Amino acid sequence: EVQLVEAGGGLVQPGGSLRLSCAASGFTFSSCVMTWVRQAPGKGLEWVSTISAGGGSTYYADSVKGRFTVSRDNSKNTLHLQMNSLRAEDTAVYYCAKRSGVHGYMDVWGKGTTVTVSS
Amino acid sequence: EIVLTQSPATLSLSPGERATLSCRASQSVTSYLAWYQQKPGQAPRLLIYAASNRATGIPARFSGSGSGTDFTLTISSLEPEDFAVYYCQQRSNWPLTFGGGTKVEIK
């Protein structure tokens, strides 16, 4: 079964850091572009970051550029999102998603992990 | 940044009725558009990709159309499990962007 499982969310103070992980199984992780998408409480979906299959290319939303870093460990089938200088507006459910190699859209999503930035 | 505007924000319909959802892009995305369904407490699910192609396992009552800047998601006859929020998303240009969503609610 193709599966993505996020972990690492929690409560953090403004200015703090958190590292999210996404464990992949059931597909060839090293061949897939991976993406992080977030959803603030009661709001819509917001793209956060994308990383190429090999990890050599990364893309960020302006709202997180310079603060968040996406990475992957293809030997461990794991995707990461290092989040620094967190702000209240980063409070959201963070989803990892796999991009289909056939059509290029996000065809498998994890259940999400919740990040709350508050003092 | 390409802005996607979805309308209406809320659609109140009864089971069995036809739902027509709109997504308009601020500039052409050719056919690089997808539709996702999201139910409360769940992750989004891919319904339609490349404007008009149903994703694996998606029922035939869901269809997508359009190209350029105007797109439509149609649900031909609403089933109880179809009441949810629907998002469009473009991958024509960075940054990837989503529309604000249309909530399809039971009338």
pLDDT at B94: 96
Mean pLDDT of chain A: 97
Binary contact (A100, B53; C-beta < 8 A): no
What is the token pair recorded at B41? 């407490």
Q: Please compute the mean of the pLDDT values over residues A92-101 and round it to a whole number.
A: 96
B73 forms bridges with which residues in the sheet? B21, B64
pLDDT tens-digit series, residues B44-102: 999 999 999 999 999 999 999 999 999 999 999 999 999 999 999 999 999 999 999 99
pLDDT at A88: 98
pLDDT at A53: 97
What is the token pair recorded at A59? 């893309």
Residue A62: list chain B partners with CB under 8 A.
Answer: 95
Residues in chain A, how many?
119
CB atoms within 10 A of CB B81: 10
Residue B35: list chain A partners with CB under 8 A.
Answer: none
pLDDT tens-digit series, residues A26-72: 999 999 999 999 999 999 999 999 999 999 999 999 999 999 999 99
Q: Please compute the mean of the pLDDT values over residues B12-21 and round it to a whole number.
A: 98
Nearest residue, CB atoms, B49 vs list A62, A103, A111: A103
Place of tokens 């009552």: B61
pLDDT at B65: 98
Q: Which of B46, B56, B94 to mutate to test the interface with A (most CBs of A within 10 A)?
A: B46
What is the token pair recorded at A84? 């620094």
Residue A105: list chain B partners with CB under 8 A.
Answer: 34, 46, 49-50, 55, 89, 91
pLDDT at A6: 98
A98 forms bridges with which residues in the sheet? A34, A108
Q: Please compute the mean of the pLDDT values over residues A89-113 and round it to a whole number.
A: 96
Exposed/middle/buried for B35, CB within 10 Å: 0-12, 13-18, 19+? buried
pLDDT at B87: 98
Provide, rounded to the nearest whole percent, the portion of chain A with pLDDT above 70: 100
Residue B54: list chain A partners with CB under 8 A.
Answer: none
pLDDT at B24: 98
Binary contact (B46, A110; C-beta < 8 A): no
The pLDDT-based confidence of B34 (bands split at 50, 70, 90) is very high
Binary contact (B95, A59; C-beta < 8 A): yes
Nearest residue, CB atoms, A44 vs list B87, B91, B96: B87
Q: Please compute the mean of the pLDDT values over residues A105-112 and round it to a whole number.
A: 98
pLDDT at A71: 98
Specify whether the CB–CB gap between A34 and A20 falls below 8 A. Answer: no
The pLDDT-based confidence of A23 (bands split at 50, 70, 90) is very high
Number of Cβ pairs < 8 A linking chain A and chain B: 56
